[in-house]
Structure 1
Amino acid sequence: MAAFLRSLPLLLITALLSLIFADALSFYPKLPDRVPIHWDTAGKPDSWSSKETLLGIFVGISFGTAVVILAIVLSLKRIPIDFINLPVGNGDKQFLKGHPVAYAKVLDVLSLGTIFILATALLDLLITFHAAFEAALVPDATLKLEYVWGPLVSTLCTVTVISVLLVLQIRKIVRDAEAGEHEPLLQGGAPPIYR
């Protein structure tokens, strides 16, 4: 069960990317050759291109975002602590250097939170581009702005909540380590991976 729970965030990202790809493929044959790729503030198309370009933009943004964020998450343990902007003071960063168990927990929390932020962004992209594909099916159709602004505002609110929860959890880990609930490294400072 523990292995499944650890793989759950990556399964979520994989499922969202699969939905994005399936949504794009389901619309592609139905789209006209020339489709709107940008809309003004009233939802009227103001820029046009081929359907291949729209599909490329959608898939490129979605998969590009996922690859960049997952690369950051997967490399967190290799990045020196000084290069990671943690919601702790400089003294706490020095403290974490000598407490690898606490630092590993901080990185786990940071990784998980970042993956959920990515999932939120991918869901926003899925909803927004689905609305764009639907609008492209109807000549001179107006893009329903509630499908753009609603997911965007929802994404920003969700990212804010996740970020606050991350800060609170990371500060709790530091407090617990200071209280002696995590074993400090006895001699020699932090191992190289945490320096």
Structure 2
Amino acid sequence: MTELYHWFDLIGVAVFAVSGTLLAYEKKMDGFGVVVLATVTAIGGGTVRDLILDVPVFWLHDQSYFFAILASVFVTTRLLNKQKPIPHYILQTADAFGLAFFAVMGAQKAQLAGMPDMTAVIMGVITGCFGGLIRDVLAREIPMLLKGELYAITCIAGGSVYTLCISFSLVTEVAMILGMLMTLLLRFAAIKWKITLHVFKYPD
């Protein structure tokens, strides 16, 4: 079962690495910049989570994460070099899938570390959002976390569904899938219908 979770983690890392590579392409970065942006997007959130939880940082003794990042960078750059400029929604789609994987994986790791449900949900938000936050800051973009359609809220929803399912003794795999689906569908709905959380009245 641990092997299955590890593969879920690798998929999340790979998808977020694609997201970082796509933004590096938009910003016309060089090869080193592409790898840096892909890497911080892929492992930034999980690194912050592990430091807060005071557990070993997940990638320190496992090279497979870097292989997943480099493979994602290689495949994405090859495809981009053969295609026309890609629409921005592709970046949003890749980011949404990474968000869904990491929101649940972060909550699960916090629970395994003995944290209460609310802390687990917060750790899911950090895991899902902070890699993208670092990516956007390095690319000199206003982070998705701080503007536009629902972002962190989708992680809170997905993490909450996961922890509730676990508290009702659902099978862990089912709880993970439901949590991921909640995050993913809510994020896609927010993008499609421009769902935001306004607290100020702005002029047009």
- Pairwise same-fold verdict (TM > 0.5): no
Q: Which has the higher strand share?
A: 1
TM-score of the aligned structures, taking structure 2 as reference length: 0.33
TM-score of the aligned structures, taking structure 1 as reference length: 0.35
| Greater relative CO (CA pairs within 8 A, separation 6+) | 1
Structure whose alpha-carbon radius of gyration is higher: 1
